[in-house]
Amino acid sequence: MPLKQAITGAEAVAYAMKQINPDVVAAYPITPQTPVVEYFAKYVADGVVDTEMIPVESEHSAMSAVVGAAASGARAFTATASVGLALMHEVVFIAASLRLPIVMAVANRALSGPINIHCDHSDAMAERDSGWIQLWAENAQEAYDFTVMAYKIAEHKDVRLPVMVNFDGFIISHGVEVVETLDDELVKNFVGKQEKIYPLLDTSNPVTYGSIDMYDYYFEHKRQQIEAMKHVPRVFKEIAEEFAKISGRKYDLVDGYMLDDAEYVMVALGSTAGTIKHTINELRKEGKKVGLLKPWMFRPFSKEEYQRLLTGRKAVVVLDRSASFGAEAPLYQSVKSAIYEVASKPQMGSYVYGLGGRDITPHHIRQAFEDAFNGNLIVDEERYLGLRE
């Protein structure tokens, strides 16, 4: 029987990992990811899982150790945030290029400097071209569900790529919500056993991991990574279908809210979608045809979904919780680039909000929508919500 529990997002992620019982967890604590590691360490200490935990001395070593473990054929997990993810950066790319099905939970937090412990998406956005699949949760439930689904996607033979489960720091990681968890057995059977491919510990078939690859092969190997990413949307949809059967919750590459007849569509990642839905409800009462498109998957970025869902709308407003200094904000860049090819182009506007944990309120969301209603969007102008100028 599914169980309804009032837990934080951090506990929801740790709980999913408890049910998965991975072989190896290597992690280093960092606010606001710390409770994920703490909950999991307690499971290990209590013998609830028989995972081997490596309490590494840094995030760099956390990612390095899970690379070693995953190459050895282990199901490996880590979690981090912000500068911890930035410290891993080099090895994040290596993990993807070695095609290791690692899962990492990221409690999204602003990058330094200045140092700041609160939510924004600059940490994950700095890794968006690292070759990892990026899933983005709106709430603790989605953080739990994506964690349950992650290994199946990562380990799929057509994919073999690491998965990053993003959940907003503090807002999701520390906020208590009702989360419906699945039975242990159900999760165990759903995730299944990993098919080990070229495990390092198979001494009778020794393999070399991490060769030096010059101009004569490097390009072809990168091309294979590009190709693997192309399989992800299909595989994700298949696994989401399977997950719906056991959970009743249906996921897709993107989520829509009041989208069908919406003339004005807002696009945003993560927990802010909740605030946007609330504002949409209010605006609908006022007769405004507004809707939300929330990417559940940001990498790979499925252009076709955005093209199909955004063509013919009056306006598309994209909210970004990170900046790309000297260029358009990352989500806006992606959506705008997708829309280039649609038959009937909507007006577009870019809004950066919530950096370093700055609150985003229904008032701000209404403000952005109103710009759209008034035909006051400038496609090449970046605007800011909740900022003192």
Partner 1 sequence: MPLSAIDLAKQFYDKNPGITSGHRLCPGCAAPTIVKIALMTAIANGYEPVVALATGCLEVSTTIYPYSAWNVPYIHNAFENVSATISGVETAFKAAKKRGEIPADKKLAFFAFGGDGGTYDIGLQSLSGAVERGHKFIYIVYDNEGYMNTGNQRSGSTPPGSDTTTAPVGKKMSGKLQLKKNVVEIMAAHENVYVATVALTDTFDFMKKIEKALAFDGPSFIAAHSACVRFWRVADDQAVETSKLAVETLYWPLYEVERGVYRVTKKIKDPKPVSEYIKSQGRFNALLKKPDAQEIIDELQQYVTARYERLLALEEATKDKPIRGPWSKKDVQTDEHAM
Residues lying near partner 1 in the complex (CB under 8 A): 23-24, 26, 50-52, 54-58, 60-62, 64-74, 76, 90-91, 94, 200-203, 206-214, 217
Shortest CB 53 distance to partner 1, Å: 8
Burial label for 365, CB within 10 Å (0-12, 13-18, 19+), is buried
> Which residue, 203 or 374, is less far from partner 1 as judged by CB?
203
Shortest CB 126 distance to partner 1, Å: 18
> Which residue, 6 or 219, is less far from partner 1 as judged by CB?
219
DSSP code for 327: B
Which tokens go with 155?
């380990």
* Helix orientation angle between 184-191 and 140-155, rounded to the nearest 10 degrees: 30
Shortest CB 54 distance to partner 1, Å: 5
Rg (CA), the chain: 21
> Which residue, 73 or 175, is less far from partner 1 as judged by CB?
73
Which tokens go with 120?
């924004």
> Which residue, 192 or 248, is less far from partner 1 as judged by CB?
192
Query: Are residues 166 and 270 in contact, defined by beta-carbon separation less than 8 angstroms?
Result: yes
| HSE-up (13 A, CA, CB side) for residue 23 | 18
Structure-derived torsion over alpha carbons of residues 340, 344, 349, 354, reported in degrees to the nearest 10: -80
Q: Is the peptide bond before 35 cis (omega within 30 degrees of 0)?
A: no
Shortest CB 195 distance to partner 1, Å: 13
> Which residue, 210 or 248, is less far from partner 1 as judged by CB?
210
Shortest CB 213 distance to partner 1, Å: 5
Q: What's the CA angle centered on 108, arms 106 and 111, to 5 degrees?
A: 115
Shortest CB 183 distance to partner 1, Å: 21
Residue from 136, 130, 129, 131 nearest 106 by CA: 136
Q: Tell me the three state secondary structure of residue 332.
A: helix
Shortest CB 222 distance to partner 1, Å: 13
What is each CA distance from 70 to 1, 31, 162, 228, in whole angstroms?
32, 25, 10, 18
> Which residue, 87 or 235, is less far from partner 1 as judged by CB?
87
Which tokens go with 302?
């499925």
The owner of tokens 């709980």 is 15
Shortest CB 51 distance to partner 1, Å: 7
> Which residue, 215 or 325, is less far from partner 1 as judged by CB?
215
Shortest CB 72 distance to partner 1, Å: 4
d(CA 389, CA 387): 6
> Which residue, 208 or 374, is less far from partner 1 as judged by CB?
208
Residues 6+ apart with CB under 8 A from 388: none
Residues 6+ apart with CB under 8 A from 274: 138, 139
